[in-house]
Amino acid sequence: MAETIDVAFIDGRRCCGRGAPVRRRGPLGNDRPEFRAANRDDVDQAMRSAARAFPAWSRTPFAERLEIMQRYADAARAQRESLAGLLAEEVGKPLWECREEAGAIAGKVDLTVRAFAERAVDRATELEGFRGMLRYRPHGVFAVFSPYNLPMHLPNGHLVPALLGGNTVVIKSSEHAPRSALALVELLLEAGLPAEAVQLLPGERETGEAIVAHPLLRGLAFTGSSTTGRAIHRALGGRTEVITALEMGGNNPMLVLDDTDPAVMGPLVALSSMLTAGQRCTSARRLIVPRGAHGDAVVQAVVQACAGLRISSALTEPEPFCGPLVAPEAADAVFAAYEARVAAGAEVLLPMHRIDALSPAALSPGVLDVTSAPPPDAEVFGPLLHVLRVDDFEAGLAAAADTHYGLSAALCGGTETEFDRFRDAVGAGIVNHNRPTNGALSTQPFGGSGWSGNHRPAGFFSVDYCVWAMASTEAESVTLPGRLPPGMSNS
Amino acid sequence: MFVYRPIEHDDLPAFVTLVGRADHGLTSLPKDRAILEQRLETSLESFERSDLPRWKTSYLFALEDRDRAGLAGCSGCYGQVGGEVPYFAYRLDTMRIGGKIDMPRDIRILEVMEQQHGPAMVGSLLLDPSARGRGVGRFLSLVRFLFMADHRLRFEHRVIAELRGWIDQDGGSPFWDAVGRHFFRMDLPEADLHTHTIRGFVQHLLPRQPIFVDMLPRKAQEVIGGVHPNTLPALDILKDEGFTLTDWLDPFEAGPVLIADVGELRTVARSEVVSARTRTTPPTTTQPIMVSNRGLRDFRAILLETEPAHDGGILLSAEAMDALQIAEGAQVRACALPASRRGGPHG
């Protein structure tokens, strides 16, 4: 008999959604515990509860809000091992990677304090007879939509600045990782956050749509696919009172020139494209390499490095590089994309296989040369790397820039001038030199252009969309100016 | 005075004696020293660590009578049932047959229910026969909720209690003889022991096919969901506290499983956090009140006759302050002990 778990937190209570049951399979192909989605009534109840809690929370002094968030960080640190275990179970990532993710939760609090101090601190200016004040205000009810690939670190990146800024938060958890979001909520409650200041709504598309449509929504931070992100953007068209920050996908290029060492490039590209089984928005998707012997050696080294990656389930020893994808349907979609490209004429450099012995969600890395069969400009969220051979550096720049996405890009080799030209050509948010496309710095903004974002980067700049600036001029009492303009008399 | 506190290493011999004196063992506390020692270690780990997943935690408490040696009782609570080893129960359900030919019948079945993310649980309650009366049994059952009230996030939001099913005079279980014995091929106490010593014992020996209740011997059918008369007071205590019956049954003796929302339990909802001061004059009117020091590893709770808390404070005797190991003005959690329905010896 399928078991049902309660993964909603509405109006201060852990509970069960009143919507349709959600039955999914996990990374090892087994049935995940069933849960019920939050329906429109649940969404309404949660949004109203968060709205009622907003005045008191926003008026709580920053220092007190910070104390709570610091206790949250302490609790996250203390429970790192069990949080990592939960991540491994829900997403299928290896334990070493889950420990990194769990370990990153606490650090966001101090980072956010710094970000507020640098980017959104109240300011006073003394003027002749009055004072100019700049104050940063929270928006109100702020929704955080979580993806499945880093279902603690990514929503944490929005909810910490949102709560610290004085907003109340409504989290829409991923249907693949509802318990990871619940774990964050429980850490917040343990830290003393007023129970109505955070709400948790599990569910699928309908739950998300109901949140977006709700009249009490004032802010939304979304991490996920470009398709969904742009649908949200359309749905909010005309609702100027809602601030949205959309962190979406990428079709990230790596241009590797001839002054690189193939023995280094092999593992570097494999890391950049296959980490987390290719389930990172910053994963390298397109490897662009000039034609010739050196280029051939680079491609060969990459194929070898990818072929040698150890793939197995989270709790096996010795530790694997990556595990299966989050669910069988994710693997189905990636494998179908691979087969379509092969059918369209792509040359197979490393065949992608299903690893049935491990799980219906497990795929081995695939590398395709698509030079003569350019694939559609789409993000394939899995361990698939496309190789493009080009004639020269100029053609490489054009190929790198040839995408509607703009999240990350990397140039390996080349001079300062060439990197300068690369930055001009590629309008991505994260552009690196001699480094992989992933592994962004937390002290920098994280976001993309085009189909990758809406100019509201997260990371260090996340405070920018969590608060807004209110300007005031303030005088002690009402007085007329010494000199009135012409046409006005004193009497 | 009775003091309720986490069970310690030094308690092991007295703990073994307490379990040994019980009429029937508990599934969770079998009469085996090595296993009891293991349970004690797990309990201490649960109190001391903050990174264990809920399903790995079990909190065992000792009831100490300050006026005597030995342990007067014990009880415990668990963060979550399930985890590495799923929680098993039978669910009493009905199956509709014959609808399509307009000859409908509802037949009763027992279906195996397996949970990996179950509720929290209270259990492992033993009271030494010499300590019965004056509300001690009720205290031993309900004081666990004082602990849970101050450590809500160590427990799932819902909690179950399994009650011992019907055992006849010879210590046998008609349900076990009709069902479990066929799969496990041993006596009930031995099966209880093996749940601790053989990993996946129930998981791999209990068939998942449903059991047709009507095909069981009459005596086995009669005891489904029933409790022994000695256990009836425990059932009343839990119902008054806010537990309701589920349709789940213990798979060995078909005893009932009760469930409640932790936040709605009487002790959790009605207890108050107040400051404690030493009383200098004797109380005028008294009631039995449970008081805890809200601690974790250093948790202490007592049952005493005193005036209820008022205006955010409670007055305790010097002996009580000492038993709770608190300083003047410390915060405590207090709750009146409800009166017994039956006024019987298990009070």
Instruction: Determine the Cα–Cα distance for residues A404 and A391; give it in Å rounded to an integer.
Output: 22
Tell me the helices (H) and strands (E) count for chain B, helix number first: 11, 15
What stretches of chain B adopt beta strand conformation (E)?
2-6, 58-65, 71-78, 82-97, 105-117, 120-127, 158-162, 211-212, 244-249, 256-261, 272-278, 287-292, 301-306, 313-316, 331-336
Q: Is the Cβ of B93 closer than 8 Å to some Cβ of chain A?
A: no
Contacting residues of A for B117, CB less than 8 Å apart: 3, 5, 33, 179
Contacting A residues, span 244-303, partner chain B, CB-CB under 8 Å? none
Instruction: Determine the Cα–Cα distance for residues B114 and B120; give it in Å rounded to an integer.
Output: 15
- Range of lowest pLDDT (A382-386, A440-444, B38-42, B299-303): A440-444
Q: What tens digit of pLDDT does each residue of B254-291 get?
A: 999 999 999 999 999 999 999 999 999 988 899 999 99
Residue of A1, A5, A77 for testing the chain B interface, max B β-carbons within 10 Å:
A1
- Range of lowest pLDDT (A193-207, B224-238, B318-332): B224-238
Minimal Cα distance from B111: which residue of A? A1
- Residue of A13, A78, A86 with shortest CB distance to B50: A78
- What mean pLDDT do residues B158-164 have? 95
Higher pLDDT, B339 or A93: A93
Residues contacting residue A60 through CB under 8 Å, at least 6 positions apart: A166
Q: What tens digit of pLDDT does each residue of A215-262 get?
A: 999 999 999 999 999 999 999 999 999 999 999 999 999 999 999 999
Contacting B residues, span 244-273, partner chain A, CB-CB under 8 Å? 263
Minimal Cα distance from A9: which residue of B? B157
Q: Is it true that the peptide bond before A318 is cis, omega within 30 degrees of 0? A: yes
What is the distance of C-alpha A457 from the center of its chain? 10
Q: What tens digit of pLDDT does each residue of A415-464 get?
A: 999 999 999 999 899 999 999 998 888 899 999 999 999 999 999 999 99
- What mean pLDDT do residues A42-71 have? 98
Q: Is the Cβ of A80 closer than 8 Å to some Cβ of chain B?
A: yes
Residue B91 to residue A1, Cβ atoms within 8 A: yes
Residue B342: its pLDDT value, please? 60
Q: Classify residue B329 by its DSSP letter.
A: T
Residue B158 to residue A6, Cβ atoms within 8 A: yes
Please say whether the beta carbons of A81 and B51 come within 8 A.
Answer: yes
Q: Is the pLDDT of residue A175 over 60?
A: yes
Residue A212 CB coordination number (10 Å): 23
- ipTM of the complex in this document: 0.82
- What mean pLDDT do residues B112-134 have? 91
Q: Is the pLDDT of residue B347 over 50?
A: no
The mean pLDDT value of chain A amounts to 96
Instruction: Determine the Cα–Cα distance for residues A437 and A274; give it in Å rounded to an integer.
Output: 11
- What mean pLDDT do residues A139-159 have? 98
Q: Is the pLDDT of residue B159 over 70?
A: yes
Strand A141-145, strand A168-172: pairing: parallel
Residue B206: what residue type? L
Residue A2: its pLDDT value, please? 67
Runs of H (alpha helix) within A214-261: 226-235
Q: Is the pLDDT of residue A1 over 70?
A: no
- Range of lowest pLDDT (A180-194, A323-337, A467-481, B318-332): A467-481
- Of the pLDDT bands very low, low, confident and very high (cuts 50, 70, 90), residue B189 is confident
Contacting B residues, span 117-156, partner chain A, CB-CB under 8 Å? 117-118, 152-153
Q: What tens digit of pLDDT does each residue of A293-330 get?
A: 999 999 999 999 999 999 999 888 899 999 999 999 99
- Residue of A6, A78, A190 with shortest CB distance to B51: A78
Residue B67: its pLDDT value, please? 85
Q: Is the Cβ of A6 closer than 8 Å to some Cβ of chain B?
A: yes
Contacting residues of B for A13, CB less than 8 Å apart: 157, 263
Residue A212: what residue type? V
Question: What SS3 state is found at B339?
Answer: coil
Residue A479: what residue type? T
Residue B346: its pLDDT value, please? 42
The mean pLDDT value of chain B amounts to 93
- Of the pLDDT bands very low, low, confident and very high (cuts 50, 70, 90), residue A70 is very high
Residue B344: its pLDDT value, please? 47
- Of the pLDDT bands very low, low, confident and very high (cuts 50, 70, 90), residue A56 is very high
Task: Kindly report the backbone phi and psi dihedral angles of residue A339, in degrees, each rounded to the nearest multiple of 5, phi listed first.
Answer: -65, -35
Q: Is the pLDDT of residue A490 over 70?
A: no
Question: What SS3 state is found at A156?
Answer: helix
Nearest by Cα to B5 from B44, B51, B31: B44
Tokens 């040369």, located at residue:
A369
Q: Is the Cβ of A186 closer than 8 Å to some Cβ of chain B?
A: yes
